[in-house]
Every structure is written in structure tokens, then in C-alpha cells.
Structure 1
């Protein structure tokens, strides 16, 4: 008769051998899916291939995570990744090409890395996720035309650590850099501390901490993205409801939130509410000491664009900027004009200064008490953000007017 203890020992050893073989087989399957070598930092490739390589490299790095073998052993317990929409690394905007990159990332991960469940960012997905994937696509200013850098980072939400990060270099002159609907229509540049935190996290090496403010605001970002998606689909009331929900959160005082409130209220004909939202937008920008507004002028002129659908709201914008600036009684306001890279440097510097002067005079007319605290400057195209000279929606930020709060004594 067999000893029960001996039988149990034999069964246990057999199970351990089988378990080891299963782990090796599962890991081998995953490694096969990741067969492409990690992205070489000097290698430049077409857009689609670069995205695929970046995803593969990012996922290969997850094998170094302590819980990797446990996840391989139990495929039913998939780790959840939420993708926070990719941004242009210079402007902080979502664009047509960042959306295209995101779609390819999701497709690649679903096809090749089944140990992860991948979802677009929304309130429910953020609550259930263990990781957030962020990324930037940045034009390389010091390289030849069509050179871009794609950076992806995978951050563990519980620890706040970037567990994997990769960079791929792209050569493609035909990428569609037009901002998506919300960013195209926003009157004020949306780049603020929260957006800076996203960009910083996407470019943080593995093993380091992600930006704490970015992670802290991720639940609000999810609500905000729901609003942005509804706006893009033309569902104005739904978008307004979600923007209002974001604004009511403790960390909802953000430029993207109040841009969205303003836009949807205008679409719904609620002009008084829209003016209040723009006033709050101006206040937030001035409190951060930099408000960038997309005033559009006629080409080569100091007159606003002759299209009431665009410039018809400019008097209201100027009124609210003047009112908010007037309340900062101990500070001065520097009004700086900018132009895109079209024409000579001297012509653009002169034109940008003339435009700044016109805006300064309009502000003084709205708030006479502000007149002595206003200054103007013209930068031409020396501080372009995009710098392509396309003169369309893709580089509208280059033709901005900036309002910067300064100490009057220091600026005199």
C-alpha cells in the first residue's frame, strides 16, 4: 500500500514541474509577441512602424516588473491600463495625428498583449485601472522637416512610479497636426500646470516618480475628456453637463475646463453665462501670470479678422480681460503680440508691436484705471510655439496675444 505522504509529495513535484513549464510557455508566447527589438534611440522610422515599435518596447519593459510572472500565471486576472489621450508635446493640444497614434496604440496592444485590458480614459475606467498610459508627439525643432519624437510612459497608479518608458523617432512630413475640435475652438491656450504635468510624466524615465499633480487630477481629467468627446460629437448639452461636473470638483479650476464651459455655453446661446466663464478663464490665466488668447487679425493688418463669427466676441473678451486685470491693483500688465513665421523678421516684429498697441488701447478704453499699468511689446515670430508658418489652424497659437502680469516696480 502506497504511503499517502509519498503520493502527495510525488503529485506536488509533478505539479511544480507542470507549473514551471506552463510559465515558461506563457512567457515564451509573450516574448514572441514582443519579438521586435526595443526602439533604438537613433533609429528614425515611418509613423506606423514607430508606433508599433514604441508599444512593443514599452510592453517588453513590463516583464521586469515584480508581479509579471504572477500575471502570466493567471491570465484571467488581467491588468487594466487606461490611456490618457496623447498630446502634442509643444502645444499641449490633442491633434489629428495624436489621435491617430492613440488608435494604433490601442489596436497594437489588443492584438499582441492580451495580458492587459486597455481602455480609453473615462470615469469608470480610471477607477478600475492599475496603470495609466500617457504620451507625447513632439516636433523636433533642430532637425530637418518631418522629424518627430514619440514618447510613451506607463505609470503604476498605486505607487505613482513610471514602470516603463520609451521613445521612438519618426520621419514623416505629412502628419496632420491640426488641433481637434475642442482645442481648435478654445479661445485661450489650454497649456497649464496640469498639462505640463502630463507632458513631464510622458517623458520621465522608468523607475522615477510621475508628476504628482497630474496623477492627483486624473479623475477630473477623465470627466473633462468625456466633455471633450461630447463636444467633438456636437452633443452640446451633454458636453456642458460634463464640463460643469469637472468645474465643481476641488481641482476643477483649470484652463481646459473653462474653455469648455465657454464654448458649450456659446453653442447653446447662453451668452451671459459664456461671458462669466470667459472672465474666469481670464482670471485663471492672469493669476498664473500668463494668459495667451487667440486673437485673429487680418493678414498684415492691425484690424481684427473681418468675420463676425470669429471676431464678433472679441469686444467681450477684451472687456473681461480688462476687468480681471484692473482688479490686480498692485501689478502691471504686459501685452505682447506674436506672429507666425511668414515674411521678414523686421516686418513681423513691427506688426506684432502694432497689434499689441491696439489691444493695449482697447483694454485702457474698457478700464481707464488700468491705463497707466499697461505696457506693450512685439516679439514677431521669435517665440513661435509651433513654428511651421502654415498660417492655418495648426499654428494659430503662433499668432496669439499674451497678457503677462508683472510687478510695476520691476517693469518700470
Structure 2
């Protein structure tokens, strides 16, 4: 993290003491690591294994694709979006009895299956603390009316040069975290077997999820007014009160110059962090430094963010442990020091925003010992590894 001449991202997080890591599942440790396939072969294996389990001879089968996500962070990436397209193309080429419908609220209500999938780094031997030396692909078909997993398949691939940089609407979002709907999506794929019930936290928000996809597409196309309106529609639907909706609303308000609404929405996300147990707020730092990025277009919002965080924390009356993290590049000792110093910088700025917070903050650093993506990269794909977490702690 510290040796490249690039701007690094640090994420501020709020996490309850003792809360579980963001990862939902890990492969079981094995005496001998499974063989890895090139990414294309692994994708085809997982896809063909899954679709071979579909009913045959019973007429047309309808399906929608809920955009695939990283199975640890919940973020859509260039790679997961590529999988979305490939699945639709593969079905059109090889499975004429399967009809892929656009992921809209109207089609969700009539499709038999919802295709879901996760794609994330793992240690191939199943060692939780080991190097992330493989990608894990998981695909599943959720039978909507039966509310169960109908079929599931998995495969593993070599890491290679895979583009896992966050998609634009995720990269721009100021906040990262896993809410109940995203966790339920991941669990339905990674912890399921055929016949496993799917959580209502996922099923009940499918209409909202479809609207969120439309809103994200509008934002990325530069139509911020339409994005704002679609995010509002999503929020009003069952299960639509989600962190990703608040992120989208914040981005849309900010792009439209609706500063008051943007600040209030950011504050709501901070408060959501206390209830979810984990919340990341992205800050960009200069390389090997505790100074924020010099580009004012990137850092202009930081004072408002810090003000909201300090105000909401003071209002909640909580004490916080500020823990710095680093990605897996650079010497361990240097990453330990820099992660601690950046946590101290955040704590100091919060204290200046709300002097009463100074006695309720403690800063520490853990280097790269608790990474989420875990790859030795220093780019947008590992931004969540370069984070500072706030953990609620008992006040002395």
C-alpha cells in the first residue's frame, strides 16, 4: 500500500466490538488444495453445471439475473458485470428453453427463477489467514415462489489479471457496508444447497433491488435527476430502506447540487452504521502520508462528512475505537505504522469537529492482518482493505 506512487484510499468503518468479519463464508480447509482452472474455464464449468440442473421438457423457463456481487464486500465490479453479460449470452446460445427477462420489478413478479452469484478471493487451501491465491465462483438459482434455492454450482479459478475494480456507482459511493439484504444474497449463494430456504431479507426486496439496478444505470449514464427519482422509488418499496439506496441518493443529491439533502442522507448512513455494526466511509490520502488527497474535487466533501460523523456519534453518546487497516503491499512494519497514523489523523479531526469526542476516541492500527479483498494490489479494487474502522467500545 505504501510504496506505490498512487493515491490511496482509506475507509472509515463503524463496527460493533466482536462483530464477525465481512466475509460470509470460507471454503473448508483441505489437506490438498483443489486444482484451479483459468477464469474462462472456471466460469463455464460453474455455469454449465448449474443450467444442467434446470427442468427439461416442461416448456419455457423464465429467469431474471440479479447483478452478481463480490461475495465478501457486496460490491459490483467490472468482473461481476462481465459475468452478468456472459450468463445472458450463454443462455441465449445454448439453452433455448430458458428466457432471460430484464431485471425489472414487473419481470421479477413473473419470473420463475432469480439467478444470483458471487465472485471473490479465497485462500485455496481454506486457511482463513492464508494468502488469497484463488477466485471462488458461486452461482445459484432461487425459485421465487417456492422461496428456496433450486440449484447451485461452484468453481475456482486462478487469480491472474482479473479486473475487480468497483463499478462506477460503487466506486463513487462514500459509504461501504453490508446490510441485511446484501448479506442474505451472499448467504443464499455461499451457504446454500438445493432446497435451502432463502431469507425474506432477500426475497422481500427483489422489486426494490430491480429498481436500484435501474437507478444505478441512470447515475452511471449521467442522468442524475432520474437516478434520484428511481432511488426514491426503490426506497419506498418493501425492503427498500437499504444502505445502497442511501448511497445512491447521496450521490444523486450531490451531483444535482442539493447539498442539504446530501448532508442529511450522509448522516443517515452514519447512523445506519451503528445499527448494522459495520460502515465504511471512504477517504483518499496521499501515498505514504496522512494528508488527504490534494485534489479538491475528491476531498472537498470530507469536512462535511467528518462533521456529520462527529455530530451523530456525540448524539449517540458512544465511545469509539478507531482501527486503521492496510492492503497487502509494502513492508508489514511500515503498514502497521501508517495504518495507525491515519487512524490517529481521523480521530484528531473528529475531536476538532466535536471537542467532547476527544475523551471517547482511541486510535490503533492492524496493518494488513484483517484484509477483505486480500490481494497485493494498490488500486481501486482493494480500497476496502485500506480502511479505518470505528468500533463501539465501553466508555471508561
Q: TM-score, normalization: structure 2?
A: 0.86
Look up the SS of the partner of 1:362 in the other structure: helix
Identify unmatched segments of 5+ residues in structure 2: 1-32, 126-130
How does 1:90-109 map onto structure 2 within 5 Å? 90-109=72-91
1:34 counterpart residue number? none
Please, what is the CA RMSD of the aligned residues? 1.9
How does 1:377-396 map onto structure 2 within 5 Å? 377-396=364-383
User: Deviation digits for residues 73-126 of structure 1, max 9, x if unmatched?
Assistant: xx3xx2211110111112211111111111111111122222221124221221
2:332 counterpart residue number? 345
Please tell me whether residue 55 in structure 1 is matched to residue 42 in structure 2. no
2:220 counterpart residue number? 232
Please tell me whether residue 217 in structure 1 is matched to residue 217 in structure 2. no
Structure number, greater radius of gyration: 1
| Structure with greater helix share of residues | 1
Whole-Å separation in 2 of the counterparts to 1:288 and 1:257: 15
Whole-Å separation in 2 of the counterparts to 1:239 and 1:191: 22
Please tell me whether residue 169 in structure 1 is matched to residue 161 in structure 2. no
Please tell me whether residue 182 in structure 1 is matched to residue 182 in structure 2. no
Change (3 A) 1:137 1:120: farther
2:11 counterpart residue number? none
Identify unmatched segments of 5+ residues in structure 1: 1-40
1:115 counterpart residue number? 97
Residues 386 and 398 of structure 1 are in contact (CA less than 8 Å); yes or no, is this contact kept in structure 2?
A: yes
Q: Give the total of aligned pairs.
A: 358
Please tell me whether residue 272 in structure 1 is matched to residue 260 in structure 2. yes
Whole-Å separation in 2 of the counterparts to 1:303 and 1:405: 26
User: Deviation digits for residues 150-191 of structure 1, max 9, x if unmatched?
Assistant: 110101111211110001222250211111001111111142
Q: TM-score, normalization: structure 1?
A: 0.82
Change (3 A) 1:312 1:389: farther
Bigger CA drift: 389-398 or 309-318?
389-398
Look up the SS of the partner of 2:175 in the other structure: coil
2:64 counterpart residue number? 82
How does 1:305-320 map onto structure 2 within 5 Å? 305-320=293-308
Residues 335 and 374 of structure 1 are in contact (CA less than 8 Å); yes or no, is this contact kept in structure 2?
A: yes
Residues 132 and 375 of structure 2 are in contact (CA less than 8 Å); yes or no, is this contact kept in structure 1?
A: no
Please tell me whether residue 130 in structure 1 is matched to residue 116 in structure 2. no
Whole-Å separation in 1 of the counterparts to 2:271 and 2:240: 14
Q: Which fold has the larger relative contact order, with Cα–Cα distance below 8 Å and residues 6 or more apart in sequence?
A: 2
How far did 1:250 drift? 4.7
Whole-Å separation in 1 of the counterparts to 2:343 and 2:36: 41
2:13 counterpart residue number? none
Change (3 A) 1:382 1:154: same
How far did 1:192 drift? 2.2
Look up the SS of the partner of 1:258 in the other structure: helix
